[in-house]
Chain A
Amino acid sequence: MSGKFNSNSAVMNFPRRDSQDKLRGRTKYTVDMENSDVLHAALLRAEIPSARLISIDTSEAKKMPGVKAIATHLDAPGLHGIGISDHPIFAGDVVRYHGEPIAAVAALTKAQAEAAAAAIKVTFEQDDAVLTMEDALSIDAPLVHPDWENYEILFDGAARGGNIAWEATVQRGDTNAAFCRDDVTIVEGCYRVGRQSHVPFEPRAVVASFEDGRYHIQTSTQVPWTVRHVTAKVLGIPEAQVQVTVPAVGGGFGLKFDCSLEPYAAILAKKSGRSVSLYNSRREEQMTCLCRENAEIRLRSAVTKEGEIVGREATVLMDCGAYGGEQVFLTSMTAHTLGGNYKLGSVRISSRAIYTNTPPNGAFRACNGVYNTFALERHTDEICSAIGMDQIEFRRRNVIGNGDIGATGQVFEGDVLRPMLEQLLEKYPIGDTQEVLPDGRLFGRATTVGTWFIFVGPSAATVNLNADGSATLVTSGVEIGSGTMMQSLPQMVAASLGLHPSDVIVKTADTDASGRDLGVGGGRTTVSIGAASMAACEEVREKLLSVASQMLQTKAEDLVLKNGRIEIKDRPGSGATIQTVAQQAELDFGPISGSGAFTNPGVKAMPGCASGHFIEAIDIPVFAVHDCEVAVDPDTGHVEVLSYRIIQDVGRALNPRAIHGQIQGGIVQGLGYALQEEITINADGAFDQTGFETYRLPLAGDVLPIDFELFEGAPSCGPLGTKGAGEVPILNVGASIACAVANATGKAVSELPLTPPRVLALLDDDGYTGLSLTHISSEWHKNTLGRTSSY
């Protein structure tokens, strides 16, 4: 490799280039792209949770004013999914959830499209619906997918059966022996959480057209290549016929990590010969949100009086709703969150995605890590009470460090959590904890730890060096609001090429121009797209330096790229501008460009430890230590957060100010989850919370400034030592609030969100010792299908 560059030059509080136009209202999001020539589309959605469809008659609707095209399941024969192809985009024979699309209509106006959709005649026979996981697991439960055995399997190795869409298990060591030891205390607890809705301010939206035999999809997505793949799969066409481009995205948080409305608009565009715009009304967006799933958890641990966890058994039920979706994949992550944080002598985990007749769930910032950390940290404090050990002392002794092994047998590198914990305690020593504040409210403090991962996987990048000395970065990265595409990526490219980041043009995602990518989410943008971009820059540097070496008659290793110039080392002003060298290169062999790629083949589990796991071990672990103080009003049940402070492992902070923005925003989303955001599902299988009035997002008056320190230098295979910083702030907020409320009230906090009625119920129930979930057996093996089950 020729000529190293100073990676510190990538670190700066570079401002984002998209903010001025966002502040002026000039930015065009997908929802703003309805020009006068587009048709407007609407979906007919089911209003029952489970039914057999007998007929769908569109003949009257077709004749209605303005109608240009109608689509049904006949237009989209394919099934898609993650791990299993179980998901049609239209209900054809069967309705599996309230809100499931049955038909799509394109018309001259949105009102005409809606009227025609309402005029489609559907006859059906209603079936019994399973609305809870407990119902879904009962012996005589109706099957959400009677045909489950016939689905195409996209990823082998998991146990499945009936309403159990996917089961991932971990078994390391002999837990039976551990639980039989006579020197252990056995602690057992159950935990439950509801769904969380992302509420991106721009709903899912798409404008599609069909030109020259190809579909062009402009969409509000985090995953352009997934949209390309899924659209092609359900339409039954070659993927090369689909182009996906992505303008500014008005918020994602994981909701837009799946293909959603795009295929409907694509079909209607082809059928009508016109561009078609389709977006969710706020009501539809809420009612069909691919939420962070509701979950039910049982944890059982065998712990010595010194606090050693010699055995742990865990079962997690994740509601995937009517189709498997992300939850199938996320079963893998249970092992790495429940099996993270602490050293475990032996461990067995069953992580199951359960079908119900409810709207499908999806990915949401730190996904199941958020509630698994809640359950784990509450369970940890219950262990502390049971063995009479201080909560901090227990964590000091047990947090994973260098050489410790995770649930699936991976060996962790570096001591990270313990020094982070010490850093927090040094800054905020544990003082005398007052139990009751002068105003009569109950005071509690908690310190929790969290382990999550950076989702890596393939990314591609091209860097073109332009004749004017600027560079263009071409990737499939999408700017969803976090700023990564505006800040850390141009900063990295600029540092590598000796440019200022404002001289790096960042191309918006276009699957016709950029290479394949897994998408923006899971903290992977800086890491994976960043690494691919750095690799592309390396090729550009090599070429530039070889031309400059000729021009300046100096060996390449004695040249440095800096401030838009290539200089002879230690002789400022001796060289030439990058522009001059780029122009010389054009004369010699043509314009300079470079391409780069990245993936991490994946750390493996210890043989035989894990089955049904998409990710056997975590490539880049990321850690967090959170601490908060709360005051609980015993009369109203209201929880006020008095302080919130964190130490976050970021690997290396390229733009500390932008990371601050992610921390403040992520923790506030976590506070919403912990305290007020609640979704309930009614007897019709629909959410009771249909909009902003009933789904309570945190308001300015509900929040506080988050105090934080960044922990740098933990091992990471990310470029320049980075880890993603935007995903993880939310990780242990539910855990910290729950533990602090438990410490304040002395009650077994086993459920989130801690709304005032729930807190009051806890305070009022004198005998309450925690939740009991009878449908998850205390005998762990009863919560598994077995590795080769035929069910």
Chain B
Amino acid sequence: MTVNLAINGDASTYEGDPRTSLLDVLRNHFRLTGTKAVCGEGFCGACTVHVNGKPIMACLQPIGVLDGAEVTTIEGIAPLDELNAVQQAFEDFDVVQCGMCFPGMVMSLSAFLKENPNPERDEVKSAMTGNICRCTGYERIIDALMSVQGLEQVSSQKSEKVTS
């Protein structure tokens, strides 16, 4: 089967089994390895991408139904050499550890903040329930997100800057 879709703005064509997951297509076919395969069964959120602007778990999404879709992956969430507001906050608060969960975190939470520009801490916590992290214990990620007020102000946001 042939599927035509846009990946990070590039017109792309996939030919093959329509049951293959979007995750496998991104990673193996297009070699976009920023989207991580962790649990493979919809529990961890590491594979989150945007399809037509909505966050979905790519491991559960068969490619066959995505003809004409616009897919944004972590590689396309911000212009080259820029970070979006969420990425910038994570960077400023030094919350990244092994990093494997972060592409999915960034994708889920960027979408969440777009819908809820000024969330309460509890709302951020609930929104993060679908993104598992084994390294960080979450709370500092939430601290970072709470510093982002209004997604429009994005990449200029700097909070806990480097002290040296």
Chain A interfacial positions (CB closer than 8 Å to B): 12-16, 18-20, 22-29, 31-32, 34, 198-202, 248-253, 281-282, 480-483, 500-501, 657-658, 660-661, 664-669, 691-693, 697-701, 703-706
Contact = CB atoms under 8 A, between A and B. Distances in A.
Contacts of B73: 25
Given A668-B137, A700-B138, A704-B139, A23 B129 contact: no
A481 to B, nearest CB: 3
Given A23-B106, A24-B74, A691-B41, A700 B94 contact: no
B132 A697 contact: yes
8 contacts: A19-B94, A23-B96, A26-B34, A201-B135, A202-B98, A251-B134, A669-B134, A692-B41
Contacts of A691: 39-41, 43
Interface in B62-112: 73-75, 78, 83, 87, 90-91, 94-103, 106
A199 B134 contact: yes
Which of B35, B36, B39, B125 has the most C-beta atoms of chain A within 10 angstroms of its own C-beta? Answer: B39
A23 to B, nearest CB: 4
A410 to B, nearest CB: 33
Given A700-B142, A705-B139, A692 B91 contact: no
Given A665-B137, A700-B125, A201 B162 contact: no
Contacts of B32: 25
Interface in B123-164: 125-126, 128-129, 131-132, 134-140, 142, 160, 162-164
Question: Top 7 nearest A-B pairs by Cβ distance?
Answer: A25-B34, A481-B98, A22-B99, A668-B137, A201-B100, A25-B74, A692-B43
B100 A202 contact: yes
A19 B136 contact: no
B7 interface: no
Contacts of B103: 23, 25
Which of B28, B74, B95, B96 has the most C-beta atoms of chain A within 10 angstroms of its own C-beta? Answer: B96
Contact of A28 (B33, B41, B132): B33
B164 A12 contact: yes
A605 B96 CA distance: 41
Given A20-B87, A249-B98, A667-B137, 15 more contacts: A12-B162, A14-B164, A23-B102, A27-B99, A250-B99, A251-B97, A251-B135, A481-B135, A661-B94, A661-B136, A668-B136, A692-B41, A693-B43, A697-B134, A704-B139
Given A282-B38, A661-B95, A703 B137 contact: yes
B137 A201 contact: no
A657 B125 CA distance: 22
Contacts of A282: 38-41
B96 A18 contact: yes
Contacts of A665: 97, 135-137
A548 to B, nearest CB: 24
A706 B97 contact: no
A24 B75 contact: yes
Contacts of A24: 34, 74-75, 78, 83, 87
B58 interface: no
B23 interface: no
A664 B94 contact: no
A697 B137 CA distance: 11
Nearest to B28: A34
Contacts of A26: 34, 75
B46 A201 contact: yes
Contact of B137 (A12, A198, A249, A706): A706
Given A19-B91, A19-B99, A200-B98, A692 B136 contact: no
A135 B139 CA distance: 43
Given A482-B97, A701-B125, A701-B126, A12 B163 contact: yes
A777 B10 CA distance: 70
Nearest to A251: B98
Contacts of B106: 23
A629 B53 CA distance: 43
Contacts of B41: 282, 691-693
A42 to B, nearest CB: 15
B22 interface: no
Contacts of A28: 33
A539 to B, nearest CB: 26
Interface string B8-27: 00000000000000000001
A343 to B, nearest CB: 34
Contact of A13 (B35, B78, B90, B164): B164
Contacts of B90: 19, 23
Contacts of B33: 25, 28, 31-32
A251 B98 CA distance: 5
Given A16-B94, A250-B98, A23 B140 contact: no
B140 A660 contact: yes
B44 interface: yes
Contacts of A700: 125-126, 128-129, 131, 138, 142
Contacts of A669: 134, 137
A22 B90 CA distance: 11
A13 B103 CA distance: 24
A789 to B, nearest CB: 42
A18 B38 contact: no
B57 to A, nearest CB: 12
A23 B134 CA distance: 16
B160 to A, nearest CB: 8
A668 B128 CA distance: 15
A477 to B, nearest CB: 15
A699 B97 contact: no
Contacts of B97: 251, 481-483, 661, 665
Contacts of B137: 664-669, 698, 703, 706
Contacts of B95: 661
B51 to A, nearest CB: 17
A703 B162 contact: no
A22 B34 CA distance: 8
A14 B101 CA distance: 22
Contacts of A705: 139
B36 to A, nearest CB: 7
A28 B129 CA distance: 26
A386 to B, nearest CB: 36
A727 to B, nearest CB: 13
A12 B163 CA distance: 6
Nearest to B34: A25
Nearest to B36: A201
A23 B91 contact: yes
Nearest to B78: A24
Contacts of B78: 24
Contacts of B126: 700-701
Contacts of B135: 201, 251, 481, 665
B111 to A, nearest CB: 16
Contact of B134 (A13, A31, A201, A501): A201
Nearest to A697: B132
A388 B27 CA distance: 63
Nearest to A481: B98
Contacts of B46: 201
B73 to A, nearest CB: 7
B7 to A, nearest CB: 13
B96 A19 contact: yes
B64 to A, nearest CB: 18
Contacts of A704: 139
A665 B106 CA distance: 19
A701 B43 contact: no
Contacts of B164: 12-14, 500-501
A312 B106 CA distance: 52
B75 A664 contact: no
A229 B44 CA distance: 35
Contacts of B35: 25
A13 B128 CA distance: 26
Contacts of B142: 700
B94 A703 contact: no
B95 to A, nearest CB: 7
